Chain A
Amino acid sequence: MKQTVSNFFKIRMRIVGINIANTFNLETSYPAENWANAFSTLLYTASYVIFLNVIFGNVETLAGYSYNDMLFFSLLSQTAFYTLYTWSFDNMDNLVNSIHQGELDLLLTKPLPTLFYATTRTFSLLRLARDAFLPIAMIALLISWSDLNLSTERAIAGLIIFICGQWVLHVFQFLLILPAFWNGQSQALLRLSYTLSEPNVPLEGLTKFWRFFLLTALPVCLPVAASVSVILGRSNAVPMVIWSLFLAAVATVVRFFAWRRALLAYNSASS
């Protein structure tokens, strides 16, 4: 039977709803851990602000970015990290483990859109609220907003690049862990994907080669560095938006075909 468009979205929204509820139940099992986590992320942000202060105690600007600009950069960098952390990191980890332990069989036998389910199994809104709110609010309070060169048009363009960048980075992580289907394990690749997702360097500080490389072959600078550059008026918004939309579209197609190819290579454990 052919699936209608409304059914397509209805099923997926229902999966997301159930996964959010399951993740919430799981994460409230250790109530003290929630407070400790909030404290931990706050401490991380404090250590990062100390880091910035130490750096700016020795330099006036960093690739043309003032201390205030870098705080804004950190705000987006933290937002990008926590967003990805909420819906991508754990799902990639779960996927690698389920391939490694053969649990993927169970998932494949369910009457569900497998790729969608496998990449949204953990969806922690509690974690987003608990871990992200305090650090992001802390950085937002430190920023002198009136000193930033902001405009509504550039903010919208930055938001589009940010969303596309998140998607591209998620697909990048997804592609990195797919060798698990062939090799049975991808934990090291997963760790590598975390490492590569955190380049907190302004686009303007990169040479032409590195800028091109980190926005194309290894598009890790797209969600944060490119968004900040556009929002602060350092890069032309239109070509960057077009480029990020193009990359997001390519990532979607590649993800779909890579998943199909990987499933063909999967050695089922029980059937």
Chain B
Amino acid sequence: MTSNNPKIITYIDNIPSHLSLKVNPNEEMRLELASFSLMKDTIIDVDVATNASFIGAYADFSTGSFSFKVNVYLKGEGASCLWKLASLSKNADKKVFEPSVYHQVGHASALMSNYGIVRDSSSLIFAGESVIAKGSIKSSTRQEAKIIVFDKDGSGRASPILRIGDNDVLASHSASIGRLNEEHLFYLESRGLSHEEAKRLITLGYLKPIEDYFSDSKIKNRIDMAIEGGI
């Protein structure tokens, strides 16, 4: 059982270049990251023990080109990991995200979910891996990546990797990259929403859900402002 009082770790902008975290048995940890200014290369390692849960959320509205890695090690049975990323890349920035999870024992679950919007001539890459070690039966793991590329010089790439070392596991991944979906726009416009409003709502749908993972309403508001300003 996880405790009722999760440990919350928050970094706004000053995210350390290397962070090592440990989630003890039966504990819950929430890592809340948000960046709005210049961002640099970062590596985060997280060990998750038996029946412990790790929830990591990163709202990235930073500038600059960087590589961001998060490695979550599920070390005990019943461990779980939920990773959520919402990223907006602009100008000529090149951002690479590698959210990875390593199932080292069985009966552990992970969902790695990454959403991004690419503007201008920037590039955004989601390239995490989900690895299930041999013997880690009854594990469940999922990778999701969705990117909308707004402008014609921008580029988005999602290459989720699954490495499965044993049978009797659940593993899945999905990725979609593309321009704003014409069918989605048509659907919303056919309900009376203007082209601009439809575009805005679809984009909001990619970024706004990250707010649910922040406990401080001031940070939620700041993310809201960054979304409205960025799209």
Whether chains A and B associate is no
Q: Which A residues contact B (CB, under 8 angstroms)? A: none
